[in-house]
Amino acid sequence: MSERLILTLAILGGTGRVGPGLAYRWSKAGYHVIIGSRTPDKANMVAQEVNERLNRDVVQGMANEEAVEACDIAVLTVPYEAQKATLESLKDHLQGKVLVVTTVPLVPPNVSLVQLPEAGSATQEAQDTLGDGVNVVAAFQNVAEVHLKEDHPIPCDVLVCGNNEDAREQVLRLVAAAKLVGWDAGPLQNVAVVEGLSSILIGINDRYKIKGAGIRITGDPVEDRSSS
């Protein structure tokens, strides 16, 4: 995908808990954002709510299929139980694109217990469902939605996993645009740890009465001077 001045992002299932916060932050950063939903009327309603908060008419609502067709990068924000059906319905539309998966495989009632699917992670399941024609990247699994909706710096880092290095770099730019610190955490094999951390954080929230615990990576990266 060639870099353009303004990229279009489609947030699929964007009417839920995570989508509106990401839509708000990316729109503020200058991206064109589409809220996708199975129900276009609901997508339009949430888009209008984000626009009112921005005081600008920049976010659109569409059916998921139309949103995927119009976007450069798609972002999946549906609950885990809806992931497979959603992706199967959008498989043909997503070919050739980058898909950011934010899903965490929580299994009620014990959502603070790590319970990963047979494939190893929800993100790997997404890649298996869509095939090699889609570059699937995991991100935002460990960021509480309550923080995304607020106008303050978020004291939480984002681990980005995917099998394609260029796709990971594109998503790291989205993380930075959302005013978070992102880290390249390697291939999809590693996302099992990232998804599992979410259940651990939920348990920490409960035990210590924290409003949206997150993770931080410590240490100072050394600048790569090999090309200079």
With a cut of 70, which residues of the chain have pLDDT below it?
Answer: 1-5, 224-228
pLDDT at 223: 77
β-pair partners for 130: none
Pull the structure tokens for residue 47: 């888009």
186 neighbors 161 (Cβ within 8 angstroms): yes
**Per-residue buried b or exposed e for 128-143, using 16+ beta carbons within 10 Å of the residue's own CB:** ebbeeebbbbbbbbbb
Q: For each of the domains in the chain, give its residue range(s) and CATH number, in order of start.
A: 8-208 (3.40.50.720)
Q: Which two tokens stand for residue 165?
A: 């290095």
pTM of the model: 0.95
pLDDT in the model for residue 228: 45
Query: Which residues, in sequence order, are bridge partners of residue 63?
Result: 37
Buried b (16+ CB within 10 A) or exposed e, 42-75: ebbebbebbbebeeeebbbbbebebbbeebbbbb
3-class secondary-structure state, position 135: strand
Burial (0-12, 13-18, 19+ Cβ within 10 Å), 41: exposed
Beta strands in 25-153, from DSSP E residues, in sequence order: 32-37, 60-63, 73-76, 98-101, 135-138
What type of residue sits at position 146? Answer: V
Instruction: State the residue for tokens 């978070």.
Output: 180
The pLDDT score that the predictor gives to residue 126 is 98
Predicted confidence (pLDDT) per residue in 83-100, tens digit = 999 999 999 999 999 999
Q: Please give the pLDDT value at position 226.
A: 56
The owner of tokens 């995570």 is 18
Residues in the chain: 228
The partner residues of 42 in beta bridges, in order of sequence, read none
Phi, psi of 94 (to 5 degrees): -85, -10
- The pLDDT score that the predictor gives to residue 1 is 44
Give the pLDDT of residue 151: 87
